[in-house]
Amino acid sequence: MFSREASSEAIDLPDDGAGHHGRRQSLAKLSLGAIGVVYGDIGTSPLYAMKEVFVGHHPLTVDQLNIFGVVSLVFWSLMLIVTIKYVFIIMRADNNGEGGSLALLALIQRKSGGGRWTASLVILGVLATALFFGDCMITPAISVLSAVEGLATVSDGFDSFVIPIAVVIMIGLFWLQAVGTASVGRLFGPIMLAYFATLTVLGILNIMDRPDIFQALNPIWAVRFVANDGLLAFLALGSVVLAVTGAEALYADMGHFGRRPIQVAWLYLVLPALMINYLGQGALLLANPAAASNPFFFMASEDFRLPLVILATMATVIASQAVITGAFSVVQQAVQLGLMPRLRIEHTSADAAGQIYIPAVNWALLIMVLLLIFGFRESSNLAAAYGIAVTGTMFISTCMVGVLVKRVWNWPSSATWAFVFAFLCIDGAYFASNLTKVPDGGWFPLLVAVIVFVLLTTWAKGRALMIARMREAAMPIKVFIQSAANSATRVPGTAVFMTSTPEGVPHALLHNLKHNKVLHERVILLTVKIGDTPYVDTAARTVSEDLGQGFHRLILKFGFMQDPDVPGALRDVGGCDGDFRMMDTSFFLARQTLLPSSRPGMPIWREKLFAWMLQNSESAMEFFRLPTNRVVELGSQVEI
């Protein structure tokens, strides 16, 4: 599915902690940035995780065994899933510094050379991406709602204001995306630092009242908890897993900060702060079982509860911002890798390449988040939907990393199977527990995943069919040059014909000759290829071939995290009978109109869906940044 043209020529950037989106910075500064962006999601989990265990859809009795057992499960989940699986293993699987499901998929395909697992891997990667979009919709809703619901612990009179305040915050946050978040982003790190410090202080103050809560770190309490009531413990896993939501962000955001800053921030600040806070919540419940209705906010005295609500709300807004930014990044990767139609991508910063804004995605997310807030109304109701998206993605990541460690890292079979079996059991248990919540809201991320999966696979399959049909009708280029070069009138200037395949004659060239009866002195057949590496060095970007008679075939290569700026790339092209001057260059594009047919390929309904997606995709002129006054579009019809 992915082009391999650029893989051997991609620039090899070391993991120096600077990522790909900025200059080399100090480890401390990058770690602070990671705290503000990467850890917003998992950092806000204490707001609702313990609450859901004891008062959620499958509530537990607030007694010593259950409190110790739950805190023990939370601790060992953070250690096994986040620390060992993500921080120490999965984060080693970087694709030239980039992480995430699609980057991992591209890495495995490139390093292993495809093979019999390729189709299954693509399906897993697309499915993980589909689940991620469900996560992107739920995270802002549940995070902000859980924080604003803290107002009810200040005064019962605030209950009616929870939803209006949450809606105003969401609208403001999504509106902010269009103007860019660079200046706001500088505040993220310090605010989250203050938030994690507050988590630690609250935890310590409550632990001092019941220091026996430290016994919960012994895994024997998790074993006793499960042994006491296996069914209830299994159901409780669906809420316990909320403590590790956001673990995927450690891997997905690796390209922004580098591996080491994320690891340092987790090991020396985030993990200790989270565990101290969970221990503090457990200590509070031992002393006051009635606090289970909202243990996070009841950790603070009444005088400090309102400031805590404000700080927690700011933290959840930051967590939501990180998820929205992640959605933009994943969509950009999917578009570049041919899994989604072209979308308008705007850059909100002249300095940071990673700061992008995609209007269609932004407003679609806002609509879905508002529908979730109005539909579910409480964070507890959304918790059932949240777990399935998270655990499903984790389960898929384990499967993909299992292939990676065997085929790319060449682990021994015994070590590979031990890793895969252990984490499939853990992830599988959490996922199975969350499946019991499908009637209570778990259906939502599954529905979103199915819709997104159908859209992504329909686009990829339809695009492949369309290219295949066009190749069938394509005339060999050498035959065309011999018959047309000497008979057609040549006019001054350069004509660039964009074509999706580096073979045959572009449809736009045939139509131009048929209707205008002329050829330019220099004709460039241009193909843009997006490789399976994030970045391609400028020196390795161009492949050209002189076809004779003033015809040249040119291939421009970009990484899937780069913008395909065609005019900018052409300015750096050498050869091809001279430099490219935009005022003397015309770009010819073919705009296909699809005609669904009964030919083998896809069902009619999917062909119509693909045709609709193609019709509404961003024009190649804007996507490739072509000068608007130098573009000519010629239509053609294609049956698929």
pLDDT digits (tens, 9 = 90+) for 261-304: 889 999 999 999 999 999 999 999 999 999 999 999 999 998 89
State the pLDDT at residue 169: 93
Q: Is 637 helix (H, G, I), strand (E, B) or coil?
A: strand
**What is the SS3 assignment for 281-350?**
HHHHHHHCHHHHHCHHHHCCCHHHHHHHHHHHHHHHHHHHHHHHHHHHHHHHHHHHCCCCCCCCCEECCC
401 and 292 within one domain? yes
pLDDT grade, residue 20 (50/70/90)?
very low
Tokens of residue 132, six digits: 């991620």
Q: What is the pLDDT of residues 373-419, one digit of tens each?
A: 999 888 888 887 888 888 888 899 898 888 888 888 889 989 999 99
Give me the residue label for tokens 């694709």: 95
Res 473: pLDDT: 67
Mean per-residue pLDDT over the chain, rounded: 85
User: What is the token pair recorded at 597?
Assistant: 């047919």
Q: Are residues 430 and 473 in the same domain?
A: no
Q: Looking at the structure, do residues 516 and 415 belong to the same domain, yes or no?
A: no
| pLDDT higher than 60, residue 11 | no
**pLDDT of 117 strictly over 60:** no
Query: CA geometry: angle at 436 spanning 295 and 166, to 5°?
Result: 45
> Within a domain: residue 6?
no
Q: Which H or E run contains 631? A: strand 631-639
For the segment 132-144, the average pLDDT, to the nearest whole number, is 89
Q: Is residue 561 part of a domain?
A: yes
User: How far is residue 40's CA from residue 353's CA, in Å, rounded to a whole number?
Assistant: 22
CATH number, domain with residue 221: 1.20.1740.10
Strand partners, 552: 524, 546
- The pTM assigned to this predicted structure is 0.81
What percent of the chain shows pLDDT beyond 70?
90
Answer with the residue of higher pLDDT: 180 or 263.
263
- 302 domain residue, yes or no: yes
pLDDT for 189 beyond 60: yes
pLDDT band with cut points at 50, 70 and 90 for residue 21: very low
Task: Verify that 426 and 537 share a domain, yes or no.
Answer: no
Q: Are residues 384 and 493 in the same domain?
A: no
Task: Using pLDDT thresholds of 50, 70 and 90, give the confidence band for residue 113.
Answer: low
Residues 72, 165 within the same domain? yes
Of the listed ranges 137-146, 273-282, 339-348, the least confidently predicted one is 339-348
Choose between 339 and 20: higher pLDDT: 339
Using pLDDT thresholds of 50, 70 and 90, give the confidence band for residue 182. Answer: low
447 assigned to some structural domain:
no
pLDDT of residue 464: 86
Check pLDDT > 90 for residue 196: yes
Q: What domain range is 501 assigned to? A: 467-639
How does residue 14 score in pLDDT terms, banded at 50, 70 and 90?
very low
State the residue for tokens 């609500």. 309
Q: Pairing between strand 551-558 and 542-548?
A: antiparallel
The 10s digit of each residue's pLDDT in 609-622 is 998 898 888 888 88
- Model pLDDT for residues 215-230, shown as the tens digit of each residue: 999 999 999 999 999 9
Whether the pLDDT of residue 212 is over 70: the answer is: yes
196-224: burial string, b at 16+ Cβ within 10 Å, e else = bebbbbbbeebbeebeebeebeeeebbee
Per-residue model confidence (pLDDT) at position 22: 42
Does 2 reside within a domain? no
Question: Which DSSP state fits 216?
Answer: G
Residue 10: pLDDT band (50, 70, 90) is very low
> What pLDDT sits at residue 12?
31
CA nearest to 400, candidates 14, 127, 1, 8: 127
Residues 410 and 542 occupy one common structural domain? no
Q: Tell me whether residue 221 is in a domain.
A: yes
Question: How many percent of the chain have pLDDT more than 90?
Answer: 37
Statement: residue 96 has pLDDT above 60: yes
Q: pLDDT category, 18, cuts 50, 70, 90?
A: very low
- Whether 507 and 411 map to the same domain: the answer is no
With respect to residue 228, please indicate whether it lies within any of the assigned structural domains: yes
Do residues 420 and 555 both lie within one domain?
A: no
Q: What's the pLDDT at 639? A: 67
One domain for residues 492 and 398? no
386 and 475 belong to one structural domain:
no
Give the span between the Cα atoms of 45 and 369, in whole angstroms.
18
**What total of structural domains would you count in the chain?**
2
Whether 90 and 175 share a structural domain:
yes
pLDDT (mean) for 71-86? 95
In terms of DSSP H, where are the helices of 493-581? 507-516, 566-570
Contact criterion met (CB below 8 Å) for 189 and 32? yes
What are the tens digits of pLDDT across the range 51-73?
999 988 888 999 999 999 999 99
Q: Which residue has the higher pLDDT, 491 or 207?
A: 207
pLDDT digits (tens, 9 = 90+) for 494-537: 999 988 877 778 888 888 888 888 889 999 999 998 877 778 88
**pLDDT at residue 7 tops 70:** no
Does 79 map to a domain? yes
The pLDDT score that the predictor gives to residue 115 is 55
Q: What letter represents residue 448's amino acid?
A: V
| pLDDT beyond 90 at 370 | yes
Least confident of 81-85, 125-129, 362-366: 125-129
Which of these ranges, 109-118, 159-168, 386-395, 423-432, has the smallest mean pLDDT?
Answer: 109-118
List pLDDT tens digits, range 231-246. Answer: 999 999 999 999 998 8
